[in-house]
Amino acid sequence: MDEKKDITIEEYAKMLEADKGKQYVNEWGGGVFGDDYPGPKSSYYTELNIDSFKLLVDGIGDMNPLYRNEEYAKYTKYCTVTAPPCWPYQVVYGALPEKMYQKFGTLYTAESIEYYLPVADGDRVDWRTTYPIDVRIEESPVHGTTVVATGRHEFKRAQGGAELARQDFTMIYFEMAKSKYRDSQDPTVPPEYTKEFIKSIYDAQDAEKVTGSDTRYWEDVNVGDKLLPVVRGPFTKMECAAWLKAAGNRFMASDKFFRIVHKNSGLGYYHEDLKSWINWTEPAYDGWAELYTQVSGSYIGDGYASQRSAWAMSMITNWMSDEGFLWKFRADHLDKGGYHNVFYTNGEVVGKGSEEGRFYVDIAFTCKDQTGRKITEGEARVLLRSRDAGGVLYPRPDRQFGPFFK
């Protein structure tokens, strides 16, 4: 990547536009990693199992035994541990354009997922990504001129080819040096909390309840019912690292391999004392890197949108019981999270109905920090067991995915 070229955000939009409709199956292209990087060029999971499930639920503080306890799970209708609904993040997350430039920041700002079947211990997953599907330029009061690009992931069970889920997502690219994003909160100055406030957080966490084998029936749910909140924080780098470990990160690799990434793409941070380029995810873990990213014109790592979605999913699955099934999930990520902050995820039943033998409940949710600032909002549709009609009838895609491999 020629970093000497002073490319504009408008020119970058045209570069992305040229790749519209590009598809990837089980591996990203070589645009960022280059030919010298050993394949496959994706560091995510190909098999999902009890160990990968445990990493996910440990990374979000989810205590549901269905996802981690084999002895418990064998007496459920699944007869084995199953994946929490945040499993797609372990397979593929977001998208990397074929061409990346250090000067442009990236935000994962929206997603919608439709699930078709549970994922169980030992499932291998094939995936296909189409990216970008749409590219447009929009003005932002925070980031100035931005490029908005959308994409889609499709997931199949490798054993048999059954469709598992479809996920649409939105990425935003902006010029970091012109953005006010990094100025909204100083991550080096944590809020000062009281012991009483911290106790209230711990009390809320201890009050979280997994409905589990105590089946929640569709007939017993009323519009206006509140879900028990999920509260996390004060948010630390270790919690961020736990999520990165769980969900996978394509750049968590040896410096030897990241050197290949830098050579090919120009990504990374140059350290004057070390005289070397360091991994661009370093600021998520290292204190001195925070200052360095401020100097470099970047913004400070402050958590991941996918983790906040996973908190909402955890709240929903705690509530719906083992018999329930998360059918549809949508989240809009409105603002940055921030180290040291406390996050409150709340949900409420806003509708219920039935169609084609499926009995569903609609839930609206928000994630706010301790100041009341809204970080994420969204909605979900959950299938519940009916007392009269019986168990959950799993949905099917409105159209088949077609073959991944040609």
Predicted local distance difference test score (pLDDT) of residue 268:
81
Q: What is the pLDDT of residues 163-175, one digit of tens each?
A: 999 999 999 999 9
Q: Quick one: pLDDT band at residue 5, thresholds 50, 70, 90?
A: low
pLDDT at 298 over 60: no
Instruction: Give the C-alpha separation, 306 to 312, whole Å.
Output: 10
* Cis upstream peptide for 132 (omega within 30°): yes
Quick one: pLDDT at residue 182?
Answer: 55
- The DSSP bridge partners found for residue 258 are none
Answer whether residue 190 shows pLDDT above 90: no
- Collapsing DSSP to helix, strand or coil, 82 comes out as strand
Is residue 99 pLDDT above 90, yes or no? no
Q: What is the pLDDT of residues 40-91, one digit of tens each?
A: 877 688 899 999 999 999 999 999 999 999 999 999 999 999 999 999 999 9
Assess if residue 392 is contained within a domain. Answer: no
Distance CA 203, CA 131 (A): 43
3-state DSSP: the chain helix, strand, coil percent, rounded to 5? Answer: 25, 30, 45
Q: What is the pLDDT of residue 118?
A: 98
pLDDT exceeds 70 at position 234: yes
Query: Are 133 and 104 a contacting pair, CB within 8 Å?
Result: no
Q: Would residue 188 count as lying in a domain?
A: yes
Is 101 a residue whose pLDDT tops 50?
yes
Length of the chain: 406
Confidence check: pLDDT of 113 > 50: yes
> Is residue 97 in some structural domain?
yes
Res. 282: pLDDT tops 90: no
Would you state the pLDDT for residue 290? 60
Number of H helices, E strands in the chain: 10, 13
Residue 127's alpha-carbon distances to 105, 111, 403, in angstroms, are: 26, 17, 11
Q: Please give the pLDDT value at position 180.
A: 75
Residue 400 covered by a domain: no
How many structural domains are present in the chain?
1
In a domain, 222, yes or no: yes
Q: What is the CATH number of the domain that holds 112?
A: 3.10.129.10
Mean pLDDT value across the chain: 90
| Percent of the chain scoring above 90 in pLDDT | 66
pLDDT at 241: 85
Task: Report whether 163 contacts 154 (CB < 8 A).
Answer: yes
**What is the DSSP-derived secondary structure letter of residue 207?**
T
pLDDT at 289 over 70: no
pLDDT at res. 77: 96
- Report the C-alpha gap between 95 and 79 in whole angstroms: 35
Report the pLDDT value the prediction gives residue 4, as an integer from 0 to 100.
46
- pLDDT of res. 355: 95
Question: In angstroms, rounded to a whole number, what is the distance separating the alpha carbons of residues 125 and 158?
Answer: 5
pLDDT tens for each residue of 201-229: 999 999 999 999 999 999 999 999 999 99
291 confidence band (pLDDT: 50, 70, 90): low
In a domain, 132, yes or no: yes
pLDDT exceeds cutoff 60 at 157? yes
Neighbours of 2 (CB within 10 A): 7
Indicate the pTM of the whole model.
0.94
Report the alpha-carbon distance of residue 149 to residue 136 in Å, rounded.
7
**pLDDT exceeds cutoff 70 at 270:** yes
Look at the alpha carbons of 53, 57, 59, 63 in this order and tell me if their dihedral is positive or negative: negative
The two three-digit tokens of residue 19, written as one number: 């790749």
Question: Residue 397 domain-assigned?
Answer: no
Is the pLDDT score of 297 beyond 60?
no
Q: In sequence order, what are the residues at sequence separation of 6 or more whose Cβ sits closer than 8 angstroms to the Cβ of residue 266?
A: 1, 2, 3, 100, 101, 102
The phi and psi torsions of 287 (rounded to 5 degrees) equal -65, -45
Instruction: Collapse the DSSP code of 130 into the 3-class scheme (helix H, G, I; strand E, B; otherwise coil) and give the result.
Output: strand
Per-residue pLDDT, averaged over 80-105, amounts to 89
CB 236 within 8 A of CB 339: yes
Query: pLDDT, tens digit, for every residue of 313-363?
Result: 999 999 999 999 999 999 999 988 888 899 999 999 999 999 999 999 999
What is the mean predicted confidence (pLDDT) over 276-293?
67
Pairing state of beta strands 163-175 and 123-140? unpaired
Single out the residue of 188, 136, 135, 107 nearest to residue 19, CA to CA: 135
More reliable by pLDDT, 254 or 375: 375
| Residues 210, 203: Cα–Cα separation, whole Å | 16
DSSP bridge pairs for 123: 48
Q: Which two tokens stand for residue 366?
A: 């928000």
Residue 217 sits in which domain range? 9-383
In terms of pLDDT, which residue wins out, 125 or 293? 125
Interatomic CA distance for residues 99 and 139, integer angstroms? 22
What is residue 1's predicted lDDT score, i.e. its pLDDT? Answer: 42
Q: Are strands 23-25 and 104-115 parallel, antiparallel or unpaired?
A: unpaired
**Tell me: the pLDDT tens digits for 372-391?**
999 999 999 999 999 999 99
In contact, 262 and 277? CB cutoff 8 Å = yes
Domain-embedded: residue 24: yes
